[in-house]
Amino acid sequence: MSSPLSAESARMLAEIVRSRRTVGSFTSEPIDERVVESALELATWAPNHRKTEPWRFTWLGPETRTAVIALNSEIITAKSGAAAAETKRQQWSTIPGWIAVTCRRSSDAFLMEEDYAACCCAVQNLMLAFWSHGVGTKWSTGEVTRHPGYAELVGFDPAEERTVGLIWYGTPAALPTQSRRPITDVVRRRP
């Protein structure tokens, strides 16, 4: 069967995958909700064994974001002091978009591992879909995302779901550079 996709599709995918970067700072420009909805929809096209579709996405509004920032401040104050917490509070307050990604738990350890893998694929889809519109992202698994208070604020039962990450999105204020090892370092061939 000949490919249903054009050579141009391959070129564009390579460009999107290679140029996506974890973004550390965003402008205050709001992101069109239709872009967010389309990225969330594309996220759900990730592979998932047994068709469990284990991902859950919680799109956080200003009230919840402020509460998560306050919880994070409490955690940082206890660990590193008020000044460090205030720096983080100011930094986080400028992030325009927040999506909490969680994974449905399974009583079967192997299924749980496979479902978490599927959720990670969904996050990659989400980030690439955003980036195809010029919207940058950062996947965070900071301590707050594993705090029971976070689950309550985000609205999930930690016995039923586990955090995959907090995905921040917005227009990048700057795009960091990154490199990867050559594939000869990481690819083995066997006859």
User: Which listed residue (16, 21, 71, 132) binds ligand FMN by CB under 6 A?
Assistant: 21
Residue 132's SS3 state is coil
Confirm or reject binding of residue 105 to ligand FMN (CB under 6 A): no
Confirm or reject binding of residue 89 to ligand FMN (CB under 6 A): no
Confirm or reject binding of residue 75 to ligand FMN (CB under 6 A): no
Q: Provide the strand spans (E) within 38-119.
A: 55-59, 97-104
Could you give the angle at the alpha carbon of 165 between the alpha carbons of 176 and 161, nearest 5°?
170
- 105 vs 23, 55, 90, 108, 175, CA distance in Å? 29, 10, 34, 9, 35
Measured from the CB atom, is 37 or 120 closer to ligand FMN?
A: 120
d(CA 116, CA 120): 6
Q: Chain centroid to CA 24: how far?
A: 13
Confirm or reject binding of residue 165 to ligand FMN (CB under 6 A): yes
Q: Which residues on adjacent β-strands are paired with residue 38? A: none
Confirm or reject binding of residue 28 to ligand FMN (CB under 6 A): no
Confirm or reject binding of residue 178 to ligand FMN (CB under 6 A): yes
**Binding string, 109-148, against ligand FMN, x = CB under 6 A?**
------------------------------xxxx------
Measured from the CB atom, is 33 or 113 closer to ligand FMN?
A: 113
Binding residues for ligand FMN (CB under 6 A): 21-22, 139-142, 165, 178
